[in-house]
């Protein structure tokens, strides 16, 4: 909300600088986000009076004026405007004057005639958009006076951010109340001096509330013989300062009173209301009305409307209807001031997708008492500015009284909660200054009636906050708590996950952090099967590309690789730890699994002057996965599998026990193509939950062997298709109890190994904890191994 | 004979001193001290001198042998040292060439900042808690005193999964999930992803928060101030100014927003702080008794505080990151800067 300081000063005395006031209000919770000085750039613009207007000898569209600015000689000014006449008062910029936008007035000739300044339009002074002619000043302002002050261009505008609980702040009187409370001043509420006619309003109209649950109070007034015309300049200036556009006196007055009191009003054309009366009711199913913005709106049964005898004329508290709109032909006005149930307004506003100044205020909770002042204030102004005859009396229906809340404040409780000793006197005083009324008190507490504009106050803590706020948060004590933890552990695996993340980084992987959004199309592009298409879908996604939550990390990793390849990055070794989601039938919440995704492409190492370059392959990725398994103290087997995203033969499922914990492999060429990547990519996806919950035992010490090991190498030639893991397992199983280690140290194909065969070289370590092994013992074990390999794998010794 | 011996000494010593490498020295040793060397030759020749002269000359010859041997040893030390120096010189490396560093990756800046935040609260005695990204409206709103049709819901532009189920708009639902599990004391910090339907230069639809909750007997607003001031001073440096401004959150009362003196201009006013000199970094307050009612806590016995930090904003401030868009784009040229 925009708050004009000049306007605010009409309600409360302010004797500090704008900056200081902004700071104080901010520290009170009324946050001033920006301070604006609309006329800051303007200088040397004075009140001038046009003495004469003569045609320009050489230009049809220009005139030559003599304008008196209170100096000895009038100024000669060449001008293109047409709306002025001799005797008009206008803002006049002299030579050397500065206008908004860094525009400076110089002495110049226009079509041969010297011009000694410029007479200004509203737009040229930064006062709105009007550029149809000069800004003609009202009345007879003193010649040569500073036009900037006269026009309020010395004003300061605060851009105020208002929290949702403090709807009462969203008006001039609301801000003035806060200023008054802070500095111990009083708020000046404009007096109402209207005169009512002898015709009772009840003889001209009536108000019927059918649904008091949605409209606890409705007040109407009837005003006859109104003259519709533009509003006076002072009112326009206030509206413009608040960021609004003046329309006509009746509409402007309702807007002005809204800005002043915070209470929304609505003016109906009395003669356009069926039977000239008001019925407040829920809409009928399928009822349609056209709102002031020209939209045709279908109403629902739970929406409240203001109807006449026949049909809806306004969506209650949100927007009026076109049929009963006040226009230049309006003679008689029905003025509405009501209190609508906040939740109902909010619901309707959301359903219609229609938020207005009025709806914003009603949904935060209006002041049912301010409703009376506001309608009287508006009537008063319509009489003064539009000559309205005000019918006698209010049509005030108040079937559901809004309860006044009484809340007890225990002084000790206040101090206990805020940890500062604030004297009882100070606590009471703070609340009284804020408009609370003390209804009873005893030694340790006092009970206060909350002001009608404070629907947010209902509990003792609300009062405590008010005390703390006025006392100043910065003045409250500072201490450190004795932090006691629960004995319960809430996230047993978080520390382990953080540790894993650090370890992966230390091993040379870079972490990425992606949005968890995905879409079915990306799942398809990645080649994942239909089970991955079962995704958590958003009802209101930002875009089709972000319409679901990810069911796998692989599409995201591929998108990221694609992005980086497109930006010239060729080498990537990245990982992400994060959730993937899967809907669960019959449950509100999906299954959320913690995943580790890894992607490798390009070279294994950064370029270095001394190191040879090598491209990553399957075993680089497998080694990363094995390191993760080691981290969790888990063993796994890697079984060949057909998995959509991966190329067959370089695609494995990772299994521990009988549980699948992930996949790894080389991305298949069609998938690479779909992501526009022209290089080899390896990806792994691991489910961390089973690894985290697998339980990890502390390593148990093994006695360091006292006797030397006996070492043997073994090289065999087998069919190329024999899995080395099977071969090694056979070695272990047949090596006897003294075989402690088997290491693979070479795989070789090519000459002299026959085609279709490979040579596998192993080093074996035999060791006993009891004695030194003899050569014969070791040889016996070796012979058994070799025999087994010969029979099981047709292995030939090399 | 005697003269011959003395002459041998001076020639030998002279020759040893002249040797320029270990090989020449070895040749000299063989020449004088070897089995067929000059000393041996003289000692053999002693059999032809008179028995009276024999011991005298023998002694003289032995002395010369010892002197030559000493000279060779000494010369060897000198030559050894020279040889080592030469070898070292030939092995000298270009000290300016870059070393072979173990490859190290980069932790994402969001997790670096989150870890640094958590570390401070761990030291103060908080433990970590977590909750799901997809939440029910009950946990995300209702139990936090944000009933349906409450205007505070307007500021939470919510992604819906289905009626009553949302992507959590803040980490606060974990407060209720923790409190449901146990009676006080409770001291937790909750890092996590949160979601809002908001995407522009300064908003990301997914971002990160760290939530804090402390509930026990006698926890005060002063404790809240103390805790967060300590956090700010540890994280941003002890010269950072901190201010607490009244604000509004449905689940805390009293509520506050915390500003720190601008990290860019040190409070003088600049574009980042919109000339105010202050930057808002978190919201906090004393837990609203209505929340305790949902949790089944005794509202008289227990008090507590809660706070929520925007990790993205803090990361952007600490590292002078110009746009929130960079954080989740995962451009390697960005990620590898941290
Ligand atoms: Zn700054």
Phi then psi for A206, rounded to 5 degrees? -150, 160
**Does B166 have pLDDT greater than 90?**
yes
Q: Are residues B128 and B40 in the same domain?
A: no
Question: Hey, is the C-beta of B132 within 8 angstroms of any chain A C-beta?
Answer: yes
* Token pair listed for B51: 């028995």
Record: contact A27-B246, CB cut-off 8 A: yes
CA distance A677 to chain B (A): 16
Tens digits of residue pLDDT in A226-266: 999 989 888 988 998 898 888 899 999 999 999 999 999 99
pLDDT given at position A705: 87
Query: Are the CB atoms for A403 and A458 separated by under 8 Å?
Result: no
Give a yes or no: residue B104 inside a domain.
no
Please provide residue A594's backbone torsions phi and psi, each rounded to the nearest 5 degrees.
-85, 130
Is pLDDT above 90 for A318?
Answer: yes
Q: Mean pLDDT across chain A, nearest whole number?
A: 93
Better-predicted residue by pLDDT, A334 or A100: A334
From chain A, the residues in CB contact with B226 under 8 A are: 478-481
Residues B80 and B118 placed together within one structural domain of the fold: no
Mean pLDDT is highest, among A110-119, B186-195, B199-208, for B186-195
Nearest residue of A to residue B227, measured between CA atoms: A480
Report the gap between the CA of A602 and the closest CA in chain B (Å).
14
CA distance, residue B237 to nearest chain A CA (Å): 18
pLDDT tens string A468-507: 999 999 999 999 999 999 999 999 999 999 999 999 999 9
**What per-residue confidence (pLDDT) applies to B175?**
97
Would you say residue B126 lies in a domain? yes
Q: What are the residue ranges spanned by the domains of chain A?
A: 2-37+156-183, 43-150, 197-397, 406-470, 494-692, 710-797
User: pLDDT for B70-109, tens place per residue?
Assistant: 999 999 999 999 989 999 999 999 999 988 888 889 999 9
CB contact under 8 A, A343 and B149: yes
**What average pLDDT does the segment B13-41 reach?**
88
Q: Is a pLDDT exceeding 90 seen at residue B59?
A: no
CATH architecture group of domain A710-797: 2-Layer Sandwich (3.30)
pLDDT band at B131 (very low <50, low <70, confident <90, very high): very high
Residue-number span of the structural domain to which B276 is assigned: 109-335
Q: What is the pLDDT of residue A141?
A: 87
Nearest-CA distance A345 → chain B (Å): 9
> pLDDT tens for residues A36-80?
888 888 999 999 999 999 998 888 889 999 999 988 889 999 998
Q: Which of B274, B303, B336 sits opposite A34 (nearest CB)?
A: B274
Which B residues, 246 through 275, put their C-beta within 8 Å of a C-beta on chain A? 246-248, 250, 253-256, 274
Whether residues B181 and B85 fall in one domain: no
In a domain, B290, yes or no: yes
A to B CB pairs, distance under 8 Å: 269
Residue that the structure tokens 């914990």 belong to: A661
Ligand 1 centroid to B314 CA: how many Å?
14
B255 inside domain = yes
B112 touches chain A (CB under 8 A): no
Nearest to B181 among A163, A488, A590 (CB): A488
User: Helix, strand or coil for residue A430?
Assistant: helix
CB nearest to A480's CB, from B223, B246, B274:
B223
If asked whether residues B132 and B279 sit together in one domain, one would say yes
Query: Ligand 1 centre from A211 Cα, in Å?
Result: 53
- CB of B301 within 8 Å of any CB in chain A? no
Distance A169 CA to ligand 1 centre (A): 28
B286 shares a domain with B182: yes
B214-256 pLDDT, tens digit each: 999 999 999 999 999 999 999 999 999 999 999 999 999 999 9
pLDDT at A685 over 80: yes
C-alpha distance from B296 to closest chain A C-alpha (Å): 16
Q: Are residues B126 and B73 in the same domain?
A: no
Examine the domain organization and report whether B123 and B10 are in the same domain.
no
Q: Do A609 and B98 touch (CB under 8 A)?
A: yes
The CATH code that applies to domain A2-37+156-183 is 3.30.56.10
CA distance A764 to A740: 8
Mean pLDDT of chain B: 92
Instruction: State the complex-level ipTM.
Output: 0.87
Angle between helices B311-319 and B109-123 (to 10 degrees): 110
> Does residue B140 sit in the same domain as residue B79?
no
The angle subtended at Cα A48 by Cα A47 and Cα A51, nearest 5°, is 160
Tell me: pLDDT of A109 over 90: no
Domain final residue pick, B90, B121, B147? B90
B156 and B61 within one domain:
no
Q: Is residue B102 part of a domain?
A: no
Is residue A716 scored above 80 in pLDDT? Answer: yes
Query: For the domain that residue B227 is a member of, what is the CATH number?
Result: 3.30.930.10
* Mean pLDDT, residues B51-65: 85
User: B152 contacts in A (CB within 8 Å)?
Assistant: 164-165
Distances (CA, A) of A462 to A358, A390, B7, B252, B292: 26, 41, 117, 10, 15
pLDDT tens column, A177-193? 999 999 999 999 999 99
pLDDT of residue B238: 93
How many angstroms separate the alpha carbon of residue B320 from the centre of ligand 1? 12
- Over the Cα atoms of chain B, what is R_g? 43
Nearest CA-CA distance, residue B331 and chain A, Å: 6
Give A564's contacts in chain B (Cβ within 8 Å).
330-332
Is B96 inside any structural domain? Answer: no
Q: Is B219 on the interface with A (CB under 8 A)?
A: yes
The per-residue pLDDT for range A154-178, each reduced to its tens digit, is: 899 999 999 989 999 999 999 999 9
Distance from CA of B253 to the nearest CA of A (A): 6
Asked if A560's CB is within 8 angstroms of B330's CB, the reply is yes
Residue that terminates a domain, selected from B90, B121, B143: B90
pLDDT at res. A349: 93
Whether pLDDT at A616 is above 90: yes
Contacts of A20 in chain B (CB under 8 A): none
Which tens digits make up the pLDDT trace of B145-165? 998 877 778 777 899 999 999
Q: What confidence tier does A663 reach under pLDDT thresholds 50, 70, 90? A: very high
Domain count, chain B: 2
Same domain, B213 and B148: yes
Q: Do domains A2-37+156-183 and A406-470 have the same CATH topology?
A: yes
Q: Is B134 in contact with A549 (Cβ distance < 8 A)?
A: yes
Contact at CB, A536 and B161, closer than 8 angstroms: yes
Query: Could you say which of A419, A501, A539 has the minimum Cβ distance to residue B162?
Result: A539
A533 DSSP 8-state letter: G
pLDDT at residue B324, as a whole number: 92
Percent of chain A with pLDDT strictly greater than 70: 100
Nearest to B227 among A465, A481, A541 (CB): A481
Rg for chain A (alpha carbons), in Å? Answer: 42
Q: What is the mean pLDDT of residues B130-138?
A: 97
pLDDT digits (tens, 9 = 90+) for B224-233: 999 999 999 9
Q: Is residue B100 part of a domain?
A: no
Superfamily of domain A43-150: Nucleic acid-binding proteins (2.40.50.140)
The pLDDT tens digits for B100-117 are 888 889 999 999 999 999
Interface residue of B225, B252, B269, B312 to substitute, partner A, most A CBs within 10 Å: B225
The pLDDT value recorded for residue A338 is 97
- Is the per-residue pLDDT at B39 higher than 90? no
Comparing CB atoms, the residue among A166, A589, A606 nearest residue B132 is A589
Q: List CB contacts of A527: < 8 A, sequence separation 6 or more.
A: A644, A645, A668, A670, A671
Q: What is the pLDDT of residue A740?
A: 94
Look at residue A606 in the predicted model and tell me its pLDDT.
76
Tell me, in angstroms, the distance from the centre of ligand 1 to residue A476's CA: 26
What homologous superfamily is domain A197-397 in, according to CATH? Phenylalanyl-trna Synthetase, Chain B, domain 3 (3.50.40.10)
DSSP string, A651-693: EEEEEETTEEEEEEEEEPHHHHHHTT--S-EEEEEEEHHHHHH
User: Using an 8 Å Cβ cutoff, are A611 and B99 in contact?
Assistant: no
d(CA B215, CA A267): 52
Tell me: pLDDT of B303 over 90: yes
Residue range A379-407: average pLDDT? 95
Q: Nearest residue of B to residue A507 by CA position?
A: B104
Minimal Cβ distance to A31: which of B103, B204, B245: B245
Bridge partners of residue A35, in order along the sequence? A158
Asked whether residue B276 is assigned to any structural domain, the reply reads yes
Q: Which fold has domain A406-470?
A: Phenylalanyl-tRNA Synthetase; Chain B, domain 1 (3.30.56)
Q: Do A508 and B335 touch (CB under 8 A)?
A: no
A299 SS3 class: coil
Point out the domain boundary residue: B90, B119, B136: B90
State which fold the A494-692 domain adopts.
Answer: BirA Bifunctional Protein; domain 2 (3.30.930)
Q: Is B115 found in the same domain as B64? A: no
Please judge whether B136 and A347 are an interchain contact, meaning their C-beta atoms are less than 8 angstroms apart: no
Same-domain pairing of B71 and B136? no
Residues contacting residue A560 through CB under 8 Å, at least 6 positions apart:
A512, A514, A574, A599, B330
């Amino acid at each position: 909300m925009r708050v004009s300081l000049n306007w605010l000063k009409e309600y409360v005395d302010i004797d500090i600088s704008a900056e200081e006031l902004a700071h104080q209000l901010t520290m009170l919770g009324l946050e001033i986000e920006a301070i604006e000085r609309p006329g800051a750039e303007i200088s040397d613009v004075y009140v001038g009076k046009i003495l004469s207007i003569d045609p320009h000898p050489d230009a049809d569209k220009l005139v030559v004026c003599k304008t008196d600015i209170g100096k000895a000689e009038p100024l000669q000014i060449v001008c293109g405007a047409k709306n002025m006449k001799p005797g008009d008062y206008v803002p006049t910029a002299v030579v050397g004057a500065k206008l908004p936008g860094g525009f400076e007035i110089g002495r110049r000739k226009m079509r041969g005639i010297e011009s000694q300044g410029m007479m200004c339009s509203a737009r040229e002074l930064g006062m709105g958009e009007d550029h149809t002619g000069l800004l003609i000043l009202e009345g007879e302002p003193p010649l040569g006076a500073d036009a900037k002050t006269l026009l309020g261009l010395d004003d300061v505008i605060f851009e105020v951010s208002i929290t949702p609980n403090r709807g009462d702040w969203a008006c001039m009187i609301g801000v003035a109340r806060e200023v008054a409370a802070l500095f111990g001043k009083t708020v000046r509420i404009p007096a109402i001096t209207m005169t009512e006619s002898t015709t009772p309003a009840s003889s001209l109209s009536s108000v019927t509330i059918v649904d008091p649950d949605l409209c606890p109070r409705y007040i109407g007034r009837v005003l006859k013989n109104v003259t519709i015309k533009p509003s006076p300049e002072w009112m326009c200036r206030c509206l413009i300062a608040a960021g609004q556009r003046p329309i006509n006196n009746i509409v402007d007055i309702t807007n002005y009173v809204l800005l002043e009191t915070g209470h929304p009003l609505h003016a109906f054309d009395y003669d356009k209301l069926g039977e000239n009366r008001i019925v407040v009711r829920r809409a009928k199913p399928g009822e349609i009305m056209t709102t002031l913005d020209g939209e045709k709106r279908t109403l629902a049964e739970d929406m409240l409307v203001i109807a006449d005898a026949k049909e809806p004329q306004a969506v209650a508290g949100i927007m009026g209807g076109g049929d009963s709109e006040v226009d230049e032909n309006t003679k008689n006005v029905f003025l509405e001031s009501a209190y609508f149930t906040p939740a109902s307004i909010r619901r309707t506003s959301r359903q219609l997708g229609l938020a207005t100044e009025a709806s914003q205020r009603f949904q935060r909770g209006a002041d049912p008492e301010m409703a009376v002042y506001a309608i009287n204030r508006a009537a008063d102004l319509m009489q003064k500015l539009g000559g309205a005859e005000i019918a006698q009396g209010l049509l005030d229906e108040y079937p559901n009284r809004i309860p006044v809340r009484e809340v007890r404040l225990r002084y000790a409780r206040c101090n206990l909660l805020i940890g500062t000793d604030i004297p009882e006197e100070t606590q009471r005083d703070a609340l009284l200054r804020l408009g609370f009324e003390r209804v009873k008190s005893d030694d340790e507490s006092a009970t206060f009636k909350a002001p009608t504009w404070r629907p947010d106050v209902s509990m003792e803590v609300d009062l405590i906050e008010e005390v703390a706020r006025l006392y100043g948060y910065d003045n409250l004590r500072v201490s450190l708590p004795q932090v006691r933890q629960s004995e319960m552990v809430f996230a047993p695996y978080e520390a382990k996950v953080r540790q894993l993340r650090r370890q992966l980084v230390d091993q040379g992987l870079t972490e990425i952090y992606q949005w968890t959004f995905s879409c079915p199309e990306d799942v398809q592009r990645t080649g994942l099967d239909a089970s991955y298409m079962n995704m958590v879908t958003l009802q209101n996604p930002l875009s089709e590309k972000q319409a679901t939550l990810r069911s796998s990390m692989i599409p995201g990793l591929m998108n990221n690789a694609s992005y980086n390849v497109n930006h010239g990055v060729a080498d990537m070794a990245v990982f992400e730890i994060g959730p993937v989601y899967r809907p669960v039938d019959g449950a509100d919440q999906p299954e959320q699994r913690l995943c580790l995704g890894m992607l490798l492409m390009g070279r294994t190492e950064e370029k270095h002057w001394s190191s040879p370059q090598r491209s990553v392959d399957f075993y680089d990725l497998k080694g990363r996965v094995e390191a993760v398994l080691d981290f969790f103290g888990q063993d796994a087997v890697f079984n060949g599998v057909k998995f959509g995203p991966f190329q067959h033969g370089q695609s494995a499922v990772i299994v521990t026990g009988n549980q699948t914990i992930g996949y790894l492999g080389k991305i298949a060429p069609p998938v690479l193509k779909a992501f526009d990547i022209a290089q080899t990519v390896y990806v792994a996806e691991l489910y961390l939950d089973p690894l985290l919950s697998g339980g990890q035992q502390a390593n148990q010490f093994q006695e360091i062997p006292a006797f030397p090991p006996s070492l043997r190498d073994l090289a065999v030639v087998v069919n190329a298709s024999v899995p080395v893991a099977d071969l090694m397992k056979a070695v272990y199983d047949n090596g006897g109890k003294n075989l402690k280690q088997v290491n693979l140290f070479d795989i070789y194909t090519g000459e002299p190994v026959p085609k279709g065969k490979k040579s596998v070289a192993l080093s074996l370590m035999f060791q006993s904890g009891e004695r030194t092994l003899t050569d014969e013992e070791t040889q016996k074990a070796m012979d058994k191994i070799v025999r087994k390999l010969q029979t099981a794998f047709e292995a030939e010794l090399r | 004979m005697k003269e011959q011996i003395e002459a041998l000494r001076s020639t030998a010593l002279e020759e040893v001193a002249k040797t320029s490498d270990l090989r020449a020295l070895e040749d000299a040793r063989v020449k004088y001290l070897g089995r067929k060397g000059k000393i041996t030759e003289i000692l053999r020749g002693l059999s032809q001198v008179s028995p009276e002269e024999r011991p005298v000359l023998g002694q003289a010859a032995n002395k010369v042998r010892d002197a030559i041997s000493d000279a060779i040893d000494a010369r060897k030390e000198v030559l050894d040292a020279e040889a080592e120096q030469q070898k070292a010189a030939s092995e000298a490396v270009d000290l300016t060439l870059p070393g072979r560093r173990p490859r190290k990756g980069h932790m994402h800046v969001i997790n670096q900042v989150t870890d640094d935040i958590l570390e401070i609260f761990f030291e103060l005695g908080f433990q970590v808690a977590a909750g799901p990204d997809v939440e029910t409206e009950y946990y995300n709103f209702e139990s936090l005193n944000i009933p349906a049709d409450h205007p505070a819901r307007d500021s939470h532009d919510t992604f819906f999964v289905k009626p009553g189920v949302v992507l959590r708009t803040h980490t606060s639902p974990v407060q209720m999930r923790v409190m449901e599990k146990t009676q006080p004391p409770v001291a937790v910090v909750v890092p996590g992803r949160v979601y809002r339907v908001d995407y522009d230069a300064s908003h990301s639809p997914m971002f990160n928060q760290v939530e804090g909750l402390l509930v026990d007997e006698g926890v005060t607003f002063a404790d809240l101030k103390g805790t967060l001031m300590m956090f700010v001073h540890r994280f941003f440096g002890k010269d950072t100014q901190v201010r607490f401004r009244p604000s509004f959150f449905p689940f805390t009362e009293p509520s506050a927003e915390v500003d720190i003196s601008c990290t860019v201009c040190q409070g003088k006013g600049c574009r980042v702080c919109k000339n105010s000199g202050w930057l808002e970094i978190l919201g906090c307050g004393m837990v609203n008794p209505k929340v305790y009612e949902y949790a089944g806590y005794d509202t008289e016995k227990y008090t507590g505080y809660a706070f929520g930090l925007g990790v993205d904003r803090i990361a952007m401030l600490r590292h002078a990151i110009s746009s929130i868009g960079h954080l989740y784009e995962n451009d390697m040229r960005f990620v590898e800067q941290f």
